Amino acid sequence: MDAVPDRTQTRLDSFVDRYAARTAGMTASEIRALFAVASRPEVVSLAGGMPNISGLPLDVVSGAVGDLITQHGAVAMQYGSGQGVPELREQITEVMRLEGISAHPDDVVVTVGSQQAVDLVTRIFIDPGDVVICEAPSYVGALGVFKAYQADVVHAEMDADGLVPEALQQAITSVKASGRTIKFLYTIPNFHNPAGVTMAAARRAQVLEICKREGVLVLEDNPYGLLGFDRDPLRALRADEADNVVYLGSFSKTFAPGFRVGWALAPHPVREKLVLAQESATLCPPQFSQMAISAYLAKHDWLGQIKQFREMYRERRDAMIGALDDLMPAGCSWNVPDGGFYVWLTLPPGVDAKAMLPRAVTARVAYVPGTAFFADGFGSRAMRLSYCYPTPERIREGVRRLAGVLEAEIELRATFGAAAPERGLSTYQGYDGPGTDVS
C-alpha cells in the first residue's frame, strides 16, 4: 500500500521558516504587478509614472558621457565617497535654492534615487511598531518601505489643498493616546503622487508648527517640485524649518531615471547616520552616474530643459483633462493638477476600481487602483491616472477605452443592483482620497 503524502511538508518555499520576521511585510506593489501587461504595445498605459525622456538632448548627454570616460574615466569608474561626489553636492544646493532652500553641501547625502533615501531614513528611525503618519493616499513605494521595516502607517486626510492640518493633529493625538511612538510625517507637498494636489502655502506653516510642537520629524519628498506648469517653484517646507525637516530630491523626473541619482538634505546629526547607513547598504552611490549628471548640469542649459519638460507635461495634462471632460460618465470626479504627473479619479458609488481592472486590461487600457496607495484597504472607488508618458493622442484613446469599461460597469451594477462592500469603521469612513470634484 502506497504511503499517504504528508501535505504539511509540501511547500512552495523551503526557506519560509528561516526568513526574518520583517520579510512578511515585503510584498509586490499593485503597480509592479501591472508592468507586464501595461508594457504591451496594444495597451494604453495610464498606470506607470515613467518620465518622458524623449525630449532630452541625447547628443548632449552622449557628448558629456563620452568626455567623462575619456577625460575622467579612471575616477568615474572607481569607488567613491559614501556621501557622494562633492561637486555634485554643491550643484544640488543650487538646484534646491530654486525652492528657497539655503543649505551647505556637507549636509547633502547622495543616494541611489530618492527611493533609497526613503529607505535609509526609515532604516535609521524605525523600530518595529513605530508609527509613520502619511497622507491619504500616499506614494506606494514609500508605503512598501515602511511596511518592510515593520512600521505602522497611520493616514491623515487630504483635500484639494493638500494635507489637512486638523487631520494631522487628530492623527498625532490619537496615536499618542494609544501609547505608540510617532517617528515622522511623510509628505509629498508638491504635485502629489498619487493625488495630484499641492499643499497650500498657509497649510505648510501649520504643518511645520504642529510637527515641531509635537516632536514629529517631517520627511519632505519632493521629486516633482520643479515641474509646475504655470508658476515658479513653490517654497519648500525645508526652506522654513531646517532643524526638523529631512528633504528628499531626485534627478529622475527632471533629467533621467536610469542614472538613479537622488539625495537627502538632513540636519547634521541625521546626515551622519544617513552616511553610515549608505555605506552599509551600497558602500557608495555610483560614482559614474553622479559625475555624468554633474557634467550635464555644468555644461547644459538644464533649467531650459526643465522648462521644455514642463511644457510637454502641461500639454499631456491638458489632453487628459480634456478627454475626461468629454468622455467620462456622470458620477465621476477628478482634480486638475497644476504640475507633476498624475490625476486622481473618483468613481461613482458602488464601483470598485480594483475589481474592474481585469476588464479594463481586456479593453487594452491600464491604470492603478486607489487601494495601492492606502495602507489600510481604502481607496476602492479611486484610481490614479498618469499622463506623463503617452502622447496626447494615446491619452485620449486610453480615456475613451476606460470610459467604455466604466459605462459597462455602471450599467451592470444598475441591472443587478450590486453594492459596494461594507467596510469597518474608520476616522475617514468612506474616504477614497482628496475631494477635488471639478467635473
pLDDT, tens digit, 9 for 90 and up, residues 237-296: 999 999 999 999 999 999 888 889 999 999 999 999 999 999 999 988 999 999 999 999
What pLDDT, in 10s, does the model give residues 127-162? 999 999 999 999 999 999 999 999 999 999 999 999
Say how far apart CA 343 and CA 316 lie, in whole Å. 11
Q: Report residue 164's pLDDT band, with 50, 70 and 90 as the boundaries.
A: very high
The whole-number average pLDDT for the span 66-83 is: 86
| Helices and strands, number each (H, E), in the chain | 13, 14
What pLDDT, in 10s, does the model give residues 301-342? 999 999 999 999 999 999 999 999 999 999 999 999 999 999
What pLDDT, in 10s, does the model give residues 90-104? 999 999 999 999 999
Q: What is the pLDDT of residue 377?
A: 83
Q: Report residue 438's pLDDT band, with 50, 70 and 90 as the boundaries.
A: very low
Segment among 67-76, 174-183, 256-265, 267-276 with least mean pLDDT: 67-76
* Structural contact between residues 89 and 229, judged by C-beta atoms closer than 8 angstroms: no
Q: What is the pLDDT of residue 422?
A: 37
Residue type for position 367: Y
Q: What are phi and psi of 295, to 5 degrees?
A: -65, -40
- Tell me how crowded residue 56 is: count the other CB atoms within 10 A of its CB: 17
- Tell me how crowded residue 388 is: count the other CB atoms within 10 A of its CB: 23
Q: What is the pLDDT of residue 439?
A: 35
Is pLDDT at 391 greater than 60 in this prediction? yes
Segment among 75-89, 106-120, 395-409 with least mean pLDDT: 75-89
Q: What is the pLDDT of residue 418?
A: 55
Closest among 190, 174, 404, 132 to 310, alpha carbons compared: 190
Instruction: Compute the mean pLDDT over every residue in the chain, rounded to the nearest whole number.
Output: 89
Segment among 157-171, 189-203, 276-290 with least mean pLDDT: 276-290
Q: Report residue 38's pLDDT band, with 50, 70 and 90 as the boundaries.
A: low
